[in-house]
Amino acid sequence: MKKILIGITGCIAAYKTIDLIRQLNKNGYETKVIITASGLKFVTELTVKTISKHSPYTDQYQIYNDNIEHIELAKWADIVIIAPATANTIAKIATGIADNLLSSTILAMPQKTKLYIAPAMNTRMWDNPITQKNLKKIGKFYKHSTIIQPKKGLLACNETGVGAMADIETIYKTIVKANNSK
């Protein structure tokens, strides 16, 4: 059974990730979830626990556990998915900033771990050369990384453009196809 660590960051698309967790669990994957402080503004710990059958990890969680959580989670995961991935989180990963549990876990991942990033942001943020450069840096530093391209759609800012997180079915199929299982 593949072990998948899912990172949820602070974006309106975060609620969609609950369906991804449900689909992965239904199809035999073991999941654990990290929710950033910003992500907790969009989804609750209770919602994630109910669907994933595990309490999610948050930055506050580290205070109450004797394990070095980011190291343990990084070793545990065969696959890491960040959905949605904000421009902020992408920048942190690209530059090695480890100021929360999710970014620390990514930095501690073994090089063999597969990393999937499903960006979600405003079109201008997506098109910004800095964001595009950061995505290229991630591809260079993490050899087993895949960017699941955002789609064109109505964005939270009420504009239509590229930046909406890929459909959950697209994310799921990308992971399954690449890992030759289920």
Among residues 12, 157, 162, 176, the one annotated as catalytic is 157
Instruction: Judge whether 157 counts as a catalytic residue.
Output: yes
Please answer whether residues 182 and 29 qualify as being in contact, where contact means their C-beta atoms are separated by less than 8 angstroms: yes
Q: How far apart are CA 79 and CA 91, in angstroms?
A: 20
Q: How far apart are CA 182 and CA 180, in angstroms?
A: 7
Cross-strand partners of 161: 153
Q: Tell me the two tokens of residue 107.
A: 């930095």
Q: How far apart are CA 77 and CA 10, in angstroms?
A: 22
Residue 83 is inside which H or E element, if any? strand 79-85
Return the number of other C-beta atoms located less than 10 Å from residue 107's C-beta. 15
| Residues marked as catalytic | 157
